[in-house]
């Protein structure tokens, strides 16, 4: 087995390129709604398996949802995101739990930096792969899981995508 990776996927993978192209067509708000919702529904349950779990992660996602509903301010989201990032560095987390926290942190960052939503995808693929099959599989198995999950993420974004969005986010991928 190769060394475990923090993220799975590659910027030149067809499934990532498809996601990037769809993200580019959407507003900052739509992108962050998608990322935060995905993190809450799919990543939080992986993290919550941890004996070391902290309520700050769930509360941060709730704060982000509040911001997206115009009930919280950006400073509150940024403070919550900082706490979540500290959780990712917590010793003793399994690889899947650590990747899930990183995915959650990236989803929170997407509120101010839409390109962070792509980081969420890479971390989420790792979290799901390690949660599903452990850490002793081949790169081929992990790549297949990443491709399948990124396709699901694409479908979730496509479901809420605004057709002919008038104010798409200004994206510079730098990858």
Q: Is residue 38 domain-resident?
A: yes
Q: Is residue 170 domain-resident?
A: no
pLDDT at 2 over 70: no
Specify the range with the lowest mean pLDDT, choosing from 8-12, 21-25, 68-72. Answer: 8-12
75-112 core/surface letters (b: 16 or more CB in 10 A; e: else):
eebeebbebbbebbeeeebbbbbbbbbbbbbbbbbbbe
Percentage of the chain exceeding pLDDT 90: 86
Q: Is residue 132 domain-resident?
A: yes
Q: Is residue 5 domain-resident?
A: no
Q: d(Cα 154, Cα 75) in Å, to the nearest integer?
A: 29
Nearest alpha carbon to residue 82 among 48, 57, 45: 57
Q: Is residue 167 domain-resident?
A: no
Domain encompassing residue 101: 14-160
Question: In the structure encoding, which two tokens stand for residue 117, read together?
Answer: 């939503």
pTM of the model: 0.94
Nearest alpha carbon to residue 23 among 92, 150, 164, 118: 118
Nearest alpha carbon to residue 118 among 29, 27, 5, 34: 34
Q: What is the pLDDT of residues 77-125, one digit of tens each?
A: 999 999 999 998 889 899 999 999 999 999 999 999 999 999 999 999 9
Give how many domains the chain has, as a whole number.
1
Question: In the structure encoding, which two tokens stand for residue 165, read together?
Answer: 């969005």
């Amino acid at each position: 087995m190769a060394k475990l990776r923090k993220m799975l996927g590659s910027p030149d993978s067809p499934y990532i390129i498809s996601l990037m192209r769809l993200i580019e067509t959407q507003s900052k708000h739509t992108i962050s709604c998608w990322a935060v919702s995905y993190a809450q529904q799919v990543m939080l349950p992986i993290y919550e398996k941890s004996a070391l779990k902290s309520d700050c992660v769930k509360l941060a996602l709730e704060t982000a949802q509040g911001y997206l509903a115009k009930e919280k301010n950006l400073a509150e989201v940024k403070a919550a995101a900082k706490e979540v990032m500290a959780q990712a560095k917590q010793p003793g987390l399994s690889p899947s739990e650590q990747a899930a926290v990183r995915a959650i942190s990236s989803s929170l960052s997407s509120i101010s930096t839409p390109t962070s939503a792509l980081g969420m995808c890479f971390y989420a693929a790792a979290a799901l792969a390690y949660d599903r099959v452990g850490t002793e599989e081949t790169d081929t198995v992990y790549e297949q899981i990443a491709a399948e999950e990124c396709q699901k993420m694409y479908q979730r974004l496509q479901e809420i995508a605004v057709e002919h969005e008038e104010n798409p986010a200004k994206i510079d991928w730098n990858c």
